[in-house]
């Protein structure tokens, strides 16, 4: 995973971590998550789990994006902070930016 990070020191010993990943690294998890979620989607005219993926993708929209972020965020955070010497890290706020298929994913952690 190619994670770009930017760590910004904040007042009161806090840091803000901005994490960015190219679509090429997000795409496999997107496809895997879409495949898993498609098994449960019911669309008119199709039996459960048999609708074409492009139709399922449209139906799931934001839900699919949210699920992908839940999968990639922990690994991205670990990779971004791997070389940092932060003695104690408490994540107070995670603000994942929503993203769309084919675009760079970015998130901020405070």
Across the range 36-47, mean pLDDT stands at: 91
Give which of 74, 105, 70, 104 is closest to 91, Cα–Cα.
74
The residues pairing with 7 across neighbouring beta strands, listed in sequence order, are 17
**In order of start, what are the domains of the chain with their CATH numbers?**
4-109 (3.30.70.1050)
| 24-33 confidence digits (pLDDT tens) | 888 999 999 9
Burial of residue 12, with CB atoms counted within 10 A of its CB: 0-12 exposed, 13-18 middle, 19 or more buried: exposed
Residue-level pLDDT at 72: 86
Q: Is this prediction's pTM over 0.75?
A: no
Give which of 83, 109, 87, 105 is closest to 33, Cα–Cα.
105
């Amino acid at each position: 995973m190619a994670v770009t990070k930017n760590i910004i020191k904040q007042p009161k010993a806090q840091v803000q971590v901005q994490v960015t990943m190219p679509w090429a690294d997000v795409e496999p998890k997107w496809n895997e998550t879409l495949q898993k979620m498609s098994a449960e989607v019911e669309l008119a005219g199709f039996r459960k789990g048999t609708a074409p993926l492009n139709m399922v993708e449209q139906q799931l929209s934001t839900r699919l994006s949210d699920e992908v972020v839940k999968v990639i965020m922990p690994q991205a955070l670990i990779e971004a902070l791997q070389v940092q010497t932060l003695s104690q890290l408490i994540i107070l706020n995670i603000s994942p930016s929503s993203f769309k298929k084919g675009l760079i994913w970015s998130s901020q952690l405070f």
